[in-house]
Amino acid sequence: MIRLENMLPRAFLVGITKMVDMAGPLETISWMRSIGEELAQIEGPGFEGARMDSDIVYLPICPFGNEIVEFSEMYDESPPQFEAIINTMSKLKRESDTPWEYPAMSHVLDVLQHSYNQKRAELAGTRYHNLGSKSPLGDIRHYNEEAIERSGLTKKDVTEILDKAFFVYVIEHPEKE
């Protein structure tokens, strides 16, 4: 049900599809990243989520999970513009020299979320890598193999954390390298 009061999250998701139509997926990705980074500047340094004894952070609940599910119910299936963003992100990651910096994409909003998280980590003098994610639309898991390798964890470790979480991250401390 759409009411004026709760329109904004849906408007943003529809806005992403319109933005892809107008400017293409690459521009849309840049646009979302710039939003995430600006919000991170306002919020300041930090790492949102539950922290394990190590530098592993995980999100037990999915940010925007409810909005994502409701939006998918409205459209029956993912809009093609979302697929275009996910495919473009995959291409960018494949062609990158630093593939570990990319999100383990389970939804287009991961672009926004990851840029926000990474910027906040950068403000804290660290780096933040997304090791894995789980879709709120079903138990579909995505991994960033390069980030996992860099973290010293195994895919099995990440899978075990994903059993109780939607996103798994590692904080990397440049001064320890």
Partner 1 sequence: MNLIEAERLYENSVRILKMNQHENGGFYASPPGTRYPFIYPRDHSICIYGAVEAGLMNEARKGLEFMLNSQKPMGEFSQRYDVDGNDASYKELQIDGNGLVLFVLGKYFKATGGSFYEEMADKLFISKYWEIIEKAVQFILMNKNEEVNLIHTINSIHEYPAYEHGFEIYANCACCAGIYAAVDMGKALGKDVSGWEEQADIIKKAILTRLYSPRRRSFVKCIRVKDKNSKPIGYDPFASLVHDIDAVEYAPAYFELISDYDIKVMSTSRRIHQELWDKEIGGLNRYPEYWGRNNGGYGPWCHFTCQLANHHTETNNQDMAELYLDWVVDMAHEYTLPEHISTIERFELWLEDYTNGKILRDSKVKLIEDIRAHPKWEDGLAYVTIPLIWPHAEFIISYKKYRDKFHPA
Give the residue among 104, 89, 96, 115 at the shortest CA–CA distance from 142: 104
26 counts as binding partner 1 under rule CB under 8 A: no
Residue 23 host element (H or E): helix 7-23
Q: Which is nearer to partner 1, 48 or 83 (CB)?
A: 48
Q: Select the span of 44-52, 107-115, 138-146, 147-155 touching partner 1 (CB under 8 A).
A: 44-52
43 counts as binding partner 1 under rule CB under 8 A: yes
Q: Which is nearer to partner 1, 15 or 60 (CB)?
A: 60
Sequence-separated (6 or more) residues with CB below 8 Å from residue 59: 48, 49, 50, 165, 166, 167
50 counts as binding partner 1 under rule CB under 8 A: yes
- Placement of tokens 């949102």 in the chain: 48
* Burial tier of 103 (Cβ tally within 10 Å: 0-12, 13-18, 19+): buried
**Amino acid code (one letter) for 130:** N
Q: Select the span of 7-15, 45-53, 80-88, 138-146 touching partner 1 (CB under 8 A).
A: 45-53
Residue 79: HSE in the Cβ half-sphere, 13 Å Cα cutoff: 18
CA end-to-end span of the chain, whole Å?
51
CB of 56 to partner 1, least distance (A): 13
46 counts as binding partner 1 under rule CB under 8 A: yes
Site string for partner 1, 2-21 (x = CB under 8 A): ---x----------------
Q: Which of 37, 48, 146, 157 binds partner 1 (CB under 8 A)?
A: 48
Q: Which of 11, 27, 30, 45 binds partner 1 (CB under 8 A)?
A: 45
Residues lying near partner 1 in the complex (CB under 8 A) are found at: 5, 41-51, 53, 60, 120, 124, 164
